[in-house]
Structure formats: C-alpha cells, structure tokens
Amino acid sequence: MEIHQGLFLALIIVAFGTTTHLIQAESDPKEFISLDCGLHHAVSPYTEPLTGLTYTSDANFTLAGQSGRVQKVWEEAYKHALRYFPNGIRNCYNLRVTQSTKYPADVYDREWQPISLSFNLNFVNTSLNVNSSTPYELPQEVISKAVINKNVTEKLTYDWIVENREDQALIYLHFAEIQTLRGNDTREFDVTWKGNDGNITISAYRPPKLQLETLYNKSPMKCRFLECTVELAMTPSSTLPPMINAMEGYIIIDFPDAETNPEDVIVVQNVRDTYEISRIDWQGDPCVPQLFKWEGINCSYTNASIPPRIISLDLSSSGLKGNIASSIQNLTHLQELDLSNNNLSGGVPEFLANMESLLIINLGWNNLTGPTPQALRDREKKGLKLVVQGNPNLCLSGSCNNSNKKVLVPVVASVASLVALIALLVLFLVLKKKKPLSEATRELSRKSSIFAKKKKFTYSEVVELTDNFKRVLGEGGFGVVYHGSLSDTEPVAVKVLSESSVQGYKEFKAEVELLLRVHHINLVSLVGYCDEGGHLALIYEYMANGDLKQHLSGESPGPTLKWASRLKIAVEAAQGLEYFHVGCEPPMVHRDVKSTNILLDDRFEAKLADFGLSRSFSVGAETQVATVVAGTPGYLDPEYYLTNWLNEKSDVYSFGIVLIEIITNRSVIELTREKAHIAEWVKILISRGDIEKIVDPNLGGDYDSNTIWRILELAMSCVSHSSSDRPTMSKVVKVLKECLNSENSRIRGQIQDDDSKDSLELTIDFGTQVTPDAR
C-alpha cells in the first residue's frame, strides 16, 4: 500500500487528452511519503526500481496493527509484507503535513488519468494559458487538453459504472474552449446526465474561450443498470462537434454526524501532547463516529447538524505527570473531569471553579499540594462534586499553611463543643415539655419532605410510558421492572411495587430519598417516582446491557467478558461505592452489593443500583450503626450478621465477593464443591497455589497472572472476617485502577511486540484461518 501526504478524496477522475497523466509518482518524490505497509524497519527504506520511489516502513506512522506476510501462492500478485488490524475499533495513520503547503501538482491531491485511446476520438491541446481560477482549481496540464469526436455528427458519450444500485452520483464536467474558432465557427451542444430517475439536460451550451467552467448535476442521481451516462450532443446551429476537457465522478457517502467542535478538538489534542498520551484510539475526530469515539471521552450529540461537544474527560490511571493542564479550561461544555490516580503535582488551579458546566471533579490520589481554592469550595455548596482524597500535601482551606493559626484550632474546637453542648441541653429540655408527635404525623412530615421534588409522575403517566406495562425487564423482591420510554426518545426502567412485596413502602421511601440527593456517574440515576392511590413506582435510567452476573454467566448474548473489561467494570462499580462512603453527606452504606446490582449501560459502563436497603452511618469515634440485618446470602458480611453492627466495611466485604466472582465466574454458594461458600473455597486453592483452578477458564489464559494474583489478594483482604482488617473503598479503587492500567499496558505491549517481530519470520494464513475485517 502506498500512502501520500495530502487530502484523500473518494473519486474517479478522467482527463481527456493524450499526454495528460498526472499521477503522483511523476511529481517530485520529495513531496510524498511512500509507505510500505507492514515492512520491517530493519529493511527500510528501499527504492522501488520501476517507479524510482523510495519506500519506508509504516511502523512510525501508526500505533496499531500487526505485521504479517501473505501466503506464498499470492506472492506473485502482492508484496510479501502487509499490516492488518485485529485489535481495537479505531486504527489510524498519522501523516505529518505542513499547513498551507501544496503537495502534488493538483492542490486537492486528485489523480488524473487520460481517457483510453479510441479510433473515433480526436485529441486537441493548446500552449496558451487557460484561466482555471475557479473553486475546482484544475491543473493547467489537464485543462489545456480536450477531446472531440472524429465524426462531428455523433454524440460524445461517456459511461461510468458504479457498484451498487442505490449509489447516488455527482458528475462534474469541466469545459474550456482551447481551439481558435474561425469567423463563422460555432461550438454549441446539449449536455445530458442520464439517471435512473430521469435525465438532466443543459441546452445549447457554449464553452468559454480559454476559461474553465464546470457543469454538474446539482441533485445526486441514481444510475440506470449501475451505469451513469453523460452525453454531449451537437445542436443544429453548431458547426463544430462537442468538446470536453475533464470529468470527475463522485459517489455520495452519508456522514450523519457533524465533526466535533474544532475548539474542543484543539484542547484534547493539546492535552494529549502535553501529557504524551499514546492511546491507540486518540487519533482523528474525538467524538465522531459516535461508536468509535476516543477512550475516556464522552460527547453530547444534539443532532446531525450541530457539532458534538466534549462533556466528559476521564484520564484516570493514565500516568499523567506535571501540573494540571491549563488548556482544560477551554472545554467549556465539560461536565465531568477525572484526573485521579496519576502523578500530577503543583496546586489545584482556580480556573476549575470558573468552568460553569462542571458537575464532578476527581483529583484524588495524586501529588497535588497547597490549599484548595476557596472558589471551588464555594462551588461545592452549589452542587459541585469535588474529590481530592489521596493528596497528602493538599490542604482544604487557604489557612492550612499558617502556623500562627494552628494554636487557635483546639481553642475554637473547645468553644464550639461547649456551645453545641449547651444547645443540645436546651433542645432536650424544650422537647421534653412538648407532647410527642403521633407516628402518623411524623410519617406525614417525612413523606412531605421526600416528595417535594419535581420528579413525581402520576399513575396514568406510568401506564402510558410503559405502554400499559407491556415489556417486562425483570423481577425482584420489590416487584416487577418494566421497560418504558419518555417522549418516545429516552428509554427508562420502571420498578413497580407489588402488593406482596416484603420490602414495601419503607424501602421505596428510602430509595427515593437517597437518589434525590446523591448523583454520581457510577450510580444509576433516578428519573422520577410515582406515589398515587397505593400505586408506587420508581423510574430509573435504562441500563441496556443488563447486569454483571448475566454477562459472567453467559445469560446475555455476546462474547465472554475479557479480563480488561472485567477490571474496568470493577473500577467503575467501586467508584460508585466509594462515593457512597466518602462523597455523601452523611456517608451511606449500600447493604446489598452484589453482581446483579452492578448494571451496564449501552457503552458497558458500570453503575451501582438498588438502594432500598441503604443506610447512613456517622463519622468519627462512633462509626457503627445498630440495625436489623439485611442483605443477600453469600454476600452478607458475617461480622455484621453476628453483631447487627453496620459500617462501611460491610459493603467492602460484599464487594470482595463480587471481585472473586469476576475472577472465578463461579456461583457464590455451591453445595457440591469442597467448600460451599466461594471465599472459603478460594482460600483452599490459594493455600495450594492452584491459580489455574481459580481463574475463569473462559478467559483462555489472556491475562497477566501477576495482576490476577493482586486482585485476588485484594478480594481476600476485603472478605476478612474482621472489618478492621478490610481496606477502605478508596484503597480498593486505587488498587483496581493500578491493575487496570497495568492490564492496558500489557495489551499495548503485546501489540508493540508483535509489530517489532521480523515480518520475514511471521506468516499469517489469511486464506484458511484468519480473515481480517475491514476497519
């Protein structure tokens, strides 16, 4: 394959003349990059004797693909080396060009080929200059030549064959009168485009003298019997036959999405260059096509005519170093920014507070220093979610480095404690004199505070949006979950409380109250609720790909989840749980963490769901809450079960069981094995060092055993019998991100290792074993 610098256009171009043959090889070779795809760098460059072109390996122009060789039977027709792309969904070549520089003779890099010689054609040319200063800018070598019929009375016809019946064509015809006409001479002809939907004709056309003019069918046409025909017919008043200088044919390709807003593109390219990010898919347009957008980037897609804007940037666990790039502030539509688990240093920039669209900023687990800007703290009060844990040298206020004020801290704390104690005593005496509220009154008060939000649906609206409860998505202890749609555009999941539900109104109320005040990218969002005449329903965002358990067990269609995909899901679910523990005020315990409550959206991003059992817990000396035990057998913290004392480490235990499921793909409770509970069974195999029996065989060995062991160690620490021995969810997230980063590096390393192998020693059998799809 040969790739030249410049703009690539999908077109067929014909120049009518005997000497016109403007292929790039005849221009200055220094203007081009000639790549031999798959060529090993050890034998690069080389000069091809037939054309005299110097070819180099393409290895330095792409981050993707692997080198291979064609089978011997095809070596006569094709070059020995090739590059194929078995991995990833977006593989690009990066060609370095200089702006405002013209690279071939044709400024649009069109390749002009002469029409085939024919016994009934005459070719003419001129040495005079033809004015081609039009938007089409044809080279002088093309427009100074033309073709006419030898038989002046015959029509001049050209046929162009297309591949598909539904193809729509645009055919551009370029004319300039390059012959000197005598006094009585006239060149006039009718131009007709013959299509499947009828003909398009321009009558009595006369080409201008030594001036380029272009005619084309303004409405794309379908070609009859896969054949597009252009016909030039001499009019009765003409003395000379039709003449044409050049023709271009284009097939219409529909690109439904506008390109990403150019200002956003410049920013992310700057960020990529600043931090030397080498992700394979960070090439080309960041948001388009939507299916192949850059990893770690989410965009808003309003409609096809409006350029997408970048609304989320996730560079967590990306090895970033240095200060937070100031160019980020130019992403004016950014809603979520995740720079966690890197090696960023310096201070937290105040410009983050000025980014009005930002809702979530995660700067955790870096090396940031100094005070957190007060403007950001003020934004927190207005709903901004700011995560800065894991930066030991980062202060929460501007006074953190003022040693003179440190002495005042215990004094202020003492005074505050005294004031609080007095206030509590007064409150106790006042309440003691009042009559107790009835249970019904208290319930009414609580209910009024919960349902004061503007997310309430009537029961008739619930019936309408579910199409009378037509499609069932699932069923649980609360009731049946139905598929619904808001305004026929936004899918939702509607959980309707059944009359026999053992959870009932208490859990319904708890879930609504919680989800109306907490928001995180890894928590399923509440769209609304219904509480009307005994009808109770919760309306959530729709998670198109079901739950994690379905994908591990094979219940969902599609291939087995790869190890990197499982790690990514684990990271995202852990982040949602971490937010519960450290981001909520007051902190929350989920109490029902399990693989069926980890849902996957249409992009396979994981979100934690089902918050009906969630409870808040205090922070400080007393971190446990006495409560009735609730949860799912197998996932339930044994310490919590025995003591009835609940804390955030109960969730950590449950998440540890999920991690073991992700590794083993085995049932949590299985009575037929040596130990029925999955954690106890794994402990036995670990003591024997038998990792092969632990790891899901469906992974096919495609993993780094060191990463598997590290996740296994993390999982086993999570399921320690004593809660004090379990890590925090912040620690869990940190380790998981490190492992995910390691796994991604391993995958990239495999690709690079394969690329570096000697292509002369690697043979890929494309004929019988592997057939790479076009990408």
Could you tell me the CATH number of the domain that includes residue 501?
Answer: 3.30.200.20
Is residue 177 domain-shared with residue 291, that is, in the same domain?
Answer: no
Q: What is the mean pLDDT of residues 99-104?
A: 66
Q: CA 369, 374, 377: angle at the middle one, nearest 5?
A: 95
Q: What is the mean pLDDT of residues 548-577?
A: 91
Q: What is the mean pLDDT of residues 629-657?
A: 88
Q: Which helix (H) or strand (E) holds 379?
A: helix 374-381
Tokens of 387: 């995560």
Q: What is the mean pLDDT of residues 484-509?
A: 74
Q: What is the mean pLDDT of residues 490-503?
A: 75
Could you tell me the CATH number of the domain that includes residue 641?
Answer: 1.10.510.10
With 70 as the cut, is the pLDDT of residue 774 above it?
no
**Rounded distance between C-alpha atoms, residue 237 and residue 526, angstroms:** 77
Is residue 241 domain-shared with residue 315, that is, in the same domain?
Answer: no
Confidence grade of residue 435 (pLDDT, cut at 50, 70, 90)? very low
Q: What is the mean pLDDT of residues 413-439?
A: 48
Lowest-confidence segment of 12-16, 85-89, 239-243, 689-693 by average pLDDT? 12-16
Q: At what angle do helices 678-687 and 649-664 cross, to 10 degrees?
A: 60
Is residue 238 domain-shared with residue 300, that is, in the same domain?
Answer: no
Is residue 302 domain-shared with residue 236, that is, in the same domain?
Answer: no
Q: Which of 702, 659, 701, 704 is nearest to 682 (CA)?
A: 659
CA distances from 773 to 64, 79, 84, 744, 770 (A): 15, 20, 9, 23, 9
**Rounded distance between C-alpha atoms, residue 257 and residue 568, angstroms:** 28
**Rounded distance between C-alpha atoms, residue 614 and residue 577, angstroms:** 11
Whether residue 56 is contained in a domain is answered as no
Q: Residue 93 corresponds to which amino acid?
A: Y
With 50 as the cut, is the pLDDT of residue 496 above it?
yes
With 80 as the cut, is the pLDDT of residue 417 above it?
no
Whether residue 266 is contained in a domain is answered as yes
Please tell me the predicted confidence (pLDDT) of residue 720. Answer: 92
Q: What is the mean pLDDT of residues 171-177?
A: 94
340, 365 Cβ separation under 8 angstroms:
yes
Instruction: Provide the β-strand partners of residue 67.
Output: 83
With 90 as the cut, is the pLDDT of residue 605 above it?
yes
Tokens of 245: 């200088």
Q: What is the mean pLDDT of residues 171-188?
A: 93
Could you tell me the CATH number of the domain that includes residue 359?
Answer: 3.80.10.10
Is residue 511 domain-shared with residue 555, that is, in the same domain?
Answer: no
Please tell me the predicted confidence (pLDDT) of residue 8. Answer: 29
Confidence grade of residue 149 (pLDDT, cut at 50, 70, 90)? confident
Tokens of 223: 């070609």
Q: What is the mean pLDDT of residues 368-374?
A: 92
The domain boundary residue, chosen from 395, 419, 447? 395
The domain boundary residue, chosen from 727, 742, 770? 727
Confidence grade of residue 606 (pLDDT, cut at 50, 70, 90)? very high
Please tell me the predicted confidence (pLDDT) of residue 726. Answer: 93
Whether residue 59 is contained in a domain is answered as no
With 90 as the cut, is the pLDDT of residue 270 above it?
yes
Please tell me the predicted confidence (pLDDT) of residue 400. Answer: 60
Whether residue 44 is contained in a domain is answered as no
Is residue 117 domain-shared with residue 227, that is, in the same domain?
Answer: yes
**Rounded distance between C-alpha atoms, residue 211 and residue 168, angstroms:** 29
With 60 as the cut, is the pLDDT of residue 126 above it?
yes
With 50 as the cut, is the pLDDT of residue 684 above it?
yes
Could you tell me the CATH number of the domain that includes residue 200?
Answer: 2.60.120
**Rounded distance between C-alpha atoms, residue 479 and residue 459, angstroms:** 16
What's the total number of domains in the chain?
Answer: 4
With 60 as the cut, is the pLDDT of residue 396 above it?
yes
Confidence grade of residue 732 (pLDDT, cut at 50, 70, 90)? very high
Whether residue 29 is contained in a domain is answered as no
Lowest-confidence segment of 305-309, 325-329, 463-467, 511-515 by average pLDDT? 511-515
Instruction: Provide the β-strand partners of residue 214.
Output: 174
**Rounded distance between C-alpha atoms, residue 542 and residue 557, angstroms:** 18
Count other C-beta atoms under 10 Å from residue 560's C-beta.
17
Q: What is the mean pLDDT of residues 131-143?
A: 89
461, 530 Cβ separation under 8 angstroms:
yes
Residue 455 marked ligand-binding? no
With 70 as the cut, is the pLDDT of residue 724 above it?
yes
Q: What percent of the chain has pLDDT over 90?
A: 35
Tokens of 71: 């089978």
**Rounded distance between C-alpha atoms, residue 305 and residue 143, angstroms:** 36
With 60 as the cut, is the pLDDT of residue 21 above it?
no
Lowest-confidence segment of 150-154, 370-374, 757-761 by average pLDDT? 757-761
**Rounded distance between C-alpha atoms, residue 82 and residue 68, angstroms:** 5
664, 703 Cβ separation under 8 angstroms:
no
Q: What is the mean pLDDT of residues 685-696?
A: 84
- Tracing tokens 């957008």 back to the chain, one arrives at 293
Half-sphere exposure of 129 (CA within 13 A, CB side): 3
364, 389 Cβ separation under 8 angstroms:
yes
With 80 as the cut, is the pLDDT of residue 535 above it?
yes
Please identify every residue annotated as catalytic: 592
Confidence grade of residue 46 (pLDDT, cut at 50, 70, 90)? confident
Q: Residue 35 corresponds to which amino acid?
A: L
The domain boundary residue, chosen from 374, 395, 416? 395
Q: What percent of the chain has pLDDT over 70?
A: 78
Whether residue 186 is contained in a domain is answered as yes
Cis preceding-peptide flag for 586 (omega within 30 of 0): yes
Is residue 214 domain-shared with residue 294, that is, in the same domain?
Answer: no
- Non-local (6+) Cβ contacts of 282 within 8 A are 268, 272, 294, 295
Half-sphere exposure of 349 (CA within 13 A, CB side): 15
Whether residue 67 is contained in a domain is answered as no
Is residue 224 domain-shared with residue 145, that is, in the same domain?
Answer: yes
With 60 as the cut, is the pLDDT of residue 756 above it?
no
Is residue 271 domain-shared with residue 204, that is, in the same domain?
Answer: no
Q: Which of 248-262, 284-298, 669-683 has the highest mean pLDDT?
A: 669-683
With 60 as the cut, is the pLDDT of residue 531 above it?
yes
- Tracing tokens 């410009």 back to the chain, one arrives at 351
Is residue 497 domain-shared with residue 632, that is, in the same domain?
Answer: no
Is residue 275 domain-shared with residue 362, that is, in the same domain?
Answer: yes
Please tell me the predicted confidence (pLDDT) of residue 75. Answer: 54
Higher pLDDT, 452 or 532: 532
With 80 as the cut, is the pLDDT of residue 516 above it?
no
Domain that holds residue 160: 12-23+105-251
Whether residue 650 is contained in a domain is answered as yes
Strands 54-57 and 34-36: parallel
Q: Is the dihedral of CA 694, 696, 699, 700 positive or negative?
A: positive
Lowest-confidence segment of 81-90, 516-525, 673-682, 725-734 by average pLDDT? 81-90
Model confidence pLDDT, tens digit, residues 300-345:
887 777 899 999 999 988 889 999 999 999 999 999 999 988 999 9
Is residue 655 domain-shared with residue 519, that is, in the same domain?
Answer: no
Q: What's the pTM?
A: 0.43
**Rounded distance between C-alpha atoms, residue 433 and residue 103, angstroms:** 91
Q: Which of 297, 67, 241, 26 is nearest to 772 (CA)?
A: 67
Q: Which of 31, 15, 28, 256 is nearest to 141 (CA)?
A: 15
Q: What is the mean pLDDT of residues 361-375?
A: 92
